[in-house]
Amino acid sequence: EAGVTQSPTHLIKTRGQQATLRCSPISGHTSVYWYQQALGLGLQFLLWYDEGEERNRGNFPPRFSGRQFPNYSSELNVNALELEDSALYLCASSVGQVNTGELFFGEGSRLTVL
Protein backbone atom coordinates (compact mmCIF):
# COMPACT_ATOMS: atom_id res chain seq x y z
CA GLU A 1 0.00 0.00 0.00
CA ALA A 2 1.40 3.38 -0.99
CA GLY A 3 2.14 5.81 1.79
CA VAL A 4 1.59 9.54 1.83
CA THR A 5 3.28 11.07 -1.20
CA GLN A 6 4.37 14.66 -1.57
CA SER A 7 5.65 16.71 -4.48
CA PRO A 8 7.90 18.35 -5.30
CA THR A 9 10.69 17.02 -3.11
CA HIS A 10 12.55 20.30 -3.36
CA LEU A 11 11.45 23.74 -4.45
CA ILE A 12 13.47 26.92 -4.76
CA LYS A 13 11.68 30.25 -5.01
CA THR A 14 12.56 33.88 -4.59
CA ARG A 15 11.01 36.28 -2.12
CA GLY A 16 7.56 37.47 -3.18
CA GLN A 17 6.81 34.48 -5.41
CA GLN A 18 4.17 31.83 -4.79
CA ALA A 19 4.77 28.17 -3.98
CA THR A 20 2.40 25.25 -4.43
CA LEU A 21 2.99 21.95 -2.68
CA ARG A 22 0.98 18.80 -3.27
CA CYS A 23 0.03 15.80 -1.18
CA SER A 24 -1.69 12.49 -1.83
CA PRO A 25 -2.94 10.75 1.30
CA ILE A 26 -3.02 7.04 1.94
CA SER A 27 -5.94 5.40 0.16
CA GLY A 28 -9.00 5.49 2.39
CA HIS A 29 -7.77 8.42 4.50
CA THR A 30 -10.03 11.42 4.36
CA SER A 31 -8.11 13.81 6.61
CA VAL A 32 -5.01 15.67 5.46
CA TYR A 33 -2.79 17.81 7.67
CA TRP A 34 -0.03 20.21 6.79
CA TYR A 35 2.88 20.98 9.11
CA GLN A 36 5.84 23.29 8.78
CA GLN A 37 9.13 21.96 10.14
CA ALA A 38 11.58 24.79 10.52
CA LEU A 39 14.97 24.28 12.10
CA GLY A 40 14.73 24.18 15.88
CA LEU A 41 10.98 24.77 15.97
CA GLY A 42 9.65 21.27 15.64
CA LEU A 43 6.45 20.70 13.73
CA GLN A 44 4.14 23.67 13.57
CA PHE A 45 0.53 22.89 12.68
CA LEU A 46 -0.64 24.70 9.55
CA LEU A 47 -3.90 23.29 8.25
CA TRP A 48 -6.30 20.38 8.58
CA TYR A 49 -8.67 19.31 5.81
CA ASP A 50 -11.34 16.67 6.02
CA GLU A 51 -13.93 15.72 3.43
CA GLY A 52 -12.95 18.70 1.30
CA GLU A 53 -13.39 21.27 4.04
CA GLU A 54 -10.85 23.25 6.05
CA ARG A 55 -11.48 22.13 9.64
CA ASN A 56 -8.77 24.00 11.52
CA ARG A 57 -5.74 26.16 10.92
CA GLY A 58 -2.74 27.01 13.00
CA ASN A 59 -1.32 30.41 13.85
CA PHE A 60 -0.09 31.29 10.37
CA PRO A 61 -0.93 34.31 8.19
CA PRO A 62 -3.61 34.07 5.49
CA ARG A 63 -1.00 33.85 2.75
CA PHE A 64 -0.77 30.21 3.78
CA SER A 65 -3.78 28.52 2.25
CA GLY A 66 -4.77 25.29 0.65
CA ARG A 67 -7.52 23.03 -0.44
CA GLN A 68 -8.57 19.42 -0.56
CA PHE A 69 -9.84 17.86 -3.73
CA PRO A 70 -12.67 15.32 -4.14
CA ASN A 71 -10.09 12.50 -4.29
CA TYR A 72 -8.80 13.73 -0.88
CA SER A 73 -5.48 14.92 -2.25
CA SER A 74 -4.46 18.36 -1.10
CA GLU A 75 -2.33 21.30 -2.04
CA LEU A 76 -0.73 23.96 0.09
CA ASN A 77 -0.22 27.41 -1.37
CA VAL A 78 2.12 29.96 0.10
CA ASN A 79 1.79 33.43 -1.39
CA ALA A 80 4.16 36.39 -1.15
CA LEU A 81 7.01 34.16 -0.01
CA GLU A 82 9.27 35.43 2.75
CA LEU A 83 12.74 34.21 3.66
CA GLU A 84 11.45 32.70 6.91
CA ASP A 85 9.10 30.45 4.94
CA SER A 86 12.10 28.30 4.12
CA ALA A 87 11.34 24.98 5.78
CA LEU A 88 10.34 21.38 5.29
CA TYR A 89 6.60 21.13 4.72
CA LEU A 90 5.15 17.84 5.85
CA CYS A 91 1.80 16.42 4.88
CA ALA A 92 0.10 13.75 6.94
CA SER A 93 -3.09 11.79 6.63
CA SER A 94 -5.29 9.89 9.02
CA VAL A 95 -8.46 7.89 9.10
CA GLY A 96 -10.80 9.09 11.80
CA GLN A 97 -9.79 11.13 14.80
CA VAL A 98 -6.08 11.46 15.53
CA ASN A 99 -6.66 10.81 19.21
CA THR A 100 -7.74 7.29 18.36
CA GLY A 101 -5.16 6.53 15.72
CA GLU A 102 -2.04 7.96 14.19
CA LEU A 103 -0.82 10.43 11.66
CA PHE A 104 0.98 9.01 8.66
CA PHE A 105 3.52 11.45 7.30
CA GLY A 106 5.03 11.90 3.89
CA GLU A 107 8.71 12.65 3.43
CA GLY A 108 8.08 16.34 2.96
CA SER A 109 8.73 19.10 0.47
CA ARG A 110 11.78 21.24 1.17
CA LEU A 111 11.03 24.87 0.28
CA THR A 112 13.93 27.28 -0.01
CA VAL A 113 13.21 30.98 -0.39
CA LEU A 114 16.09 33.10 -1.68
Partner 1 sequence: QQQVKQSPQSLIVQKGGISIINCAYENTAFDYFPWYQQFPGKGPALLIAIRPDVSEKKEGRFTISFNKSAKQFSLHIMDSQPGDSATYFCAATNNNNDMRFGAGTRLTVKP
Distance between CA atoms of residues 62 and 101, nearest Å: 29
Candidates 15-23, 52-60, 64-72, 73-81 — which segment interacts with partner 1 by CB under 8 A?
Answer: 52-60
Q: Mark residues 4-33: x for contact with partner 1 by CB under 8 A, - for none.
A: x--------------------------x-x
Among 26, 46, 47, 106, binds partner 1 (CB under 8 A): 106
Find out whether 4 and 96 touch, Cβ atoms under 8 Å: no
User: What is the distance, to the nearest Å, from the Cα of residue 13 to the centroid of all Cα atoms in its chain?
Assistant: 17
- Binding flag, residue 42, partner 1 (CB under 8 A): yes
Q: What is the DSSP string of 49-93?
A: EETTEEEEE-S--TTEEEEE-TTS-EEEEE-S--GGG-EEEEEEE
Among 28, 59, 70, 84, binds partner 1 (CB under 8 A): 59
Identify any residues that bridge with 77 across adjacent strands, giving them in sequence order: 20, 65
Residues that bind partner 1 (CB under 8 A): 4, 31, 33, 35, 40-45, 48, 50, 55-56, 58-59, 90, 92, 94, 97-100, 102-108
